[in-house]
Amino acid sequence: MRDEMNSNQLDHNISFESSIDWLLDSFKINEGAGSSGWESRYFHPLRGWSLPYPETTGYILVTLYDLLNKEKYRNDEIKSYINSSISWLLGLQLDSGAFPGGHGRYKDDFRLNSIDYIFRRKRNSIPSLFNTGQILRGLVRAFKENQSKNIFLAIERAVKFLGDSINEDGSWKKDAYAGEFSPAYFSYIAKPLIDASKIINEKKYIRSSMKSLNKIILSSNNLDLFIQSMSFPGDKIIHTHTLCYTLHGILECYNYLDEKMINKSLDLSKKIIDDILKYYDEKQFVPGGIHNDLKPDWTYSCLTGNCQLGLILIELDEITGQNSYISYAKAMIDYTVKHQASNGSIPGSYPIYGKYMSFRRPNWAIKYFIDLFLMIKRNEGNRT
């Protein structure tokens, strides 16, 4: 490890506050009706922002609650956007209990031209397994903070949709987005489904969730195929974003696994992560993805994936006591800060034309950056 991995030379506090400023702007542009998926003058030359994105708004709620409880910065606005976004999300829930794929709608639909509105209205009726899981993360946290009956009922319906979508063998039924392909990153649905099932006291869905997770972990017996299954459907490259979704989904359920699966999941996670860290040691940055032939793509770095990787490294540090992981986690945040824009946003890729979210600054990059900042701060506090 090199000395430049120390974080002391970078003022992360300024970067942290500017990232919060940008995140709140992503809500403000929609008058509180969700957070825009990304900022991009390339794709949205007039408005500058995409439509609000239900999936990421859902799990960003967890980040907003963390900020509210741990920091004293723009708290009144954070409270307001939490409340308005919960109302907006509950209004999007489908009769099946699912939440839709794709982007949401503006608060006033007349701002869309008729063709665009028809397309998006149709898209907003398609259920999404993954998106429902991520919105559940936010609703579970919201219910823990505020015992709302409306939130409870929404959780109950979403749990039933997800739980009934898992086959007896742990495989997922056909998904509108992924089709017949069941990506390994569906592991990231397991924890919110478990947490939500506890709230409504439905043990059968906890068992179903663990079946699905165990099936994903066991599929790593063929490691090459397992890594390839971490990609988005149809992609020939596995971005570190979805790779980290997969591993994070496994590790956050660590305490629910039996001894055999604990050992297997930990060995699997350490092997993949240690290989990625070898790439970092080679060039002092993490390649943005891995091709289907398992060769790294050095043409870009996925900044979103870097922040997610940092979170996984801290989890591994806490599980294994292997202190070198925390140093690498700090390196991930250092690298991200170096490529953060002056308005606080973080590009999907560096360079910005890289293969992941080209020319866009996604709200989920900021979510994981803030999460990583808070987790490093907590970890350092625990060591003093």
What average pLDDT is seen over the chain? Answer: 90
- Position 255 scores a pLDDT of 92
The amino acid at residue 282 is: E
Report, as an integer, the average pLDDT of 200-228.
94
Structure-derived torsion over alpha carbons of residues 365, 250, 311, 194, reported in degrees to the nearest 10: 80
Confidence of residue 116 (pLDDT cuts 50, 70, 90): very low
Measured at the CA of 93, the angle between CA 91 and CA 94, to 5 degrees, comes to: 125
Cβ count within 10 A of residue 194:
21
Report the share of the chain in percent with pLDDT over 70: 90
Report, as an integer, the average pLDDT of 99-116.
59
CA distance linking residue 262 with residue 254, whole number of Å: 6
Q: What would the two tokens of residue 134 be?
A: 């991520």
At residue 379, what are phi and psi to the nearest 5 degrees?
A: -65, -40
Selected residue with higher pLDDT from 276 and 125: 276
Helix H or strand E segment including 382: helix 363-383
Q: Is the pLDDT of residue 199 over 50?
A: yes
pLDDT in tens, 129-161: 999 999 999 999 999 999 999 999 999 999 999
Q: Is the pLDDT of residue 86 over 90?
A: yes
- Position 2 scores a pLDDT of 35
At 152 the three-state DSSP class reads helix
pLDDT in tens, 4-30: 334 444 588 899 999 999 999 999 999
Instruction: Give strand pairing partners of 362.
Output: 38
Q: Is the pLDDT of residue 123 over 60?
A: no
Helix H or strand E segment including 301: strand 301-302
Q: What would the two tokens of residue 133 be?
A: 């899981």
The domain spans of the chain are 3-383
Cis amide leading into 347 (omega within 30): no
Cβ count within 10 A of residue 288:
27
CATH architecture of 3-383: Alpha/alpha barrel (1.50)
- Position 99 scores a pLDDT of 96
CB 273 within 8 A of CB 208: no
Q: How would you label 27-36 residue by residue, b for 16+ Cβ within 10 Å and e otherwise?
A: bebbebbbbb
CB 238 within 8 A of CB 230: yes
